[in-house]
Amino acid sequence: MYAISLGDDGAELRPLEPWRAGEFLAHIDRGRDFIGRYVGLADAVTDLESSRAFLRAYAEKAVADTGRIHGIWADGALVGGVLFRTMDLAQGTAEAGCWLEPSAVGRGLVTRAARLLIDWAVEERGVHRVEWLVAAENEASIAVARRLGMRKDGVLREGFLYRGKRYDMEVWSVLAPEWRAARDGS
């Protein structure tokens, strides 16, 4: 088990593994309404069994090298996470995402965690394009995409049905050369 520091405030990025299902469920329960505004995670993880199944699916993605999930811990508690919902290494693409409970908002945790995850994908796994799909109404997530140096590629009009409502989905992305240039200050 490893943890990567997210800065001087003691926050850490750690893998979210199936054995953490109880902690993951408690975290989702604390932020269920907030997380569930735009992210289906709140509907997918409703009890210990579904929590374990969700994390097990990501453990299987990690083994197959088709996805990853990491949690963000602050003040000793799981407060959010970042993931690669999909990774297609043959195509050099990955779709990143995030979530956060209300107690951790405004601290830059998601941006810092996503930077680490994207840097790993670009430098260690050879990903060329990282995408960020976000409901057009989700201003906080769009702000993260901007802070990550992503560009808005377009809008999938009413492309996502969630809780009976159709949402426009914005597609943001960053390419490996852009990522490296921004990171290195070039």
Amino acid (one-letter) located at 181: A
Residue with tokens 């990853």: 68
Query: What is the rounded distance in angstroms from the CA atom of residue 96 to the CA atom of residue 148?
Result: 11
Q: Structure pTM?
A: 0.92
Query: Can you give the pLDDT at residue 31?
Result: 95
Structure tokens at 60: 């299987």
Angle at 18 between CA 40 and CA 127, to 5 degrees: 65
Query: Can you give the pLDDT at residue 1?
Result: 63
Residue 64 host element (H or E): helix 48-64
Buried b / exposed e across 69-108, counting CB within 10 Å, b at 16+? Answer: bbbbbbeeebbbbbbbbebeeeebbbbbbbbbbeebeebe
Q: What is the arithmetic mean of pLDDT over 156-174?
A: 95
Total H helices, total E strands in the chain: 6, 8
**pLDDT confidence bin for 146, thresholds 50/70/90:** very high
**pLDDT confidence bin for 104, thresholds 50/70/90:** very high
Query: Can you give the pLDDT at residue 124?
Result: 96
Higher pLDDT, 184 or 57: 57
Q: What are the distances in angstroms from CA 127 to CA 87, 94, 130, 164?
A: 8, 7, 7, 34
**Tens digit of pLDDT for each residue in 14-60?**
999 999 999 999 999 999 999 999 989 999 999 999 999 999 999 99
What residues does 161 pair with on adjacent strands? 166
